[in-house]
Amino acid sequence: MTQYYELYRSSSLGSALMDSLDDLISEGQLSPQLAMRVLAQFDKSISDALNNRVKTRISFKGSLRTYRLCDEVWTFIINKPTFKFDSEDITCSRVKIVACNARKPGET
């Protein structure tokens, strides 16, 4: 079974989904077990969509402030990054990048 990370639950879409599920549970229209299944499907669907549908490539430069590896999840904090897309460059003051292993166990 493939592992899906819960990273996108903190996105605006994930937060809206969790708020809606909480409301449905509070109103007795949805069981907590079904809500957990919906969230698990959300994790899978977001991961699959990003893997199979997004084709844009970017590159970026910045000053690496912090990095760490915990439970096979890399976290990078980058100061003053510049992201280069096909048609534009975007800069910001700081960005946090979380990277997870996309390979299935046993793949090289």
| The pLDDT of residue 69 is above 70 | yes
Average pLDDT over the chain, rounded to whole?
A: 89
Q: Does the pTM of the predicted model rise above 0.85?
A: no
pLDDT classification of 103: cutoffs 50, 70, 90 = low
* pLDDT score recorded for residue 104: 59
| The pLDDT of residue 108 is above 60 | no
- Tell me the mean pLDDT in the region 18-38: 97
- Write out the residue limits of the CATH 2.30.18.10 domain(s) in the chain: 59-100
CA distances from 71 to 6, 26, 30, 68, 100 (A): 14, 34, 33, 10, 9
| The pLDDT of residue 2 is above 80 | no
In 3-state terms the chain splits into helix, strand, coil percentages (rounded to 5) of 35, 30, 30
20: which 2 tokens? 């809606």
| The pLDDT of residue 36 is above 60 | yes
- Tell me the mean pLDDT in the region 31-46: 95
Taking domain 59-100, whether its CATH number is 2.30.18.10 is answered by yes
Single out the residue of 67, 58, 69 nearest to residue 91, CA to CA. Answer: 58
More confident residue, 2 or 92: 92
* pLDDT score recorded for residue 107: 60
Selecting from 1.10.287.190, 3.20.20.70, 2.40.160.40, 2.40.110.10, what CATH number does the domain 7-52 have?
1.10.287.190
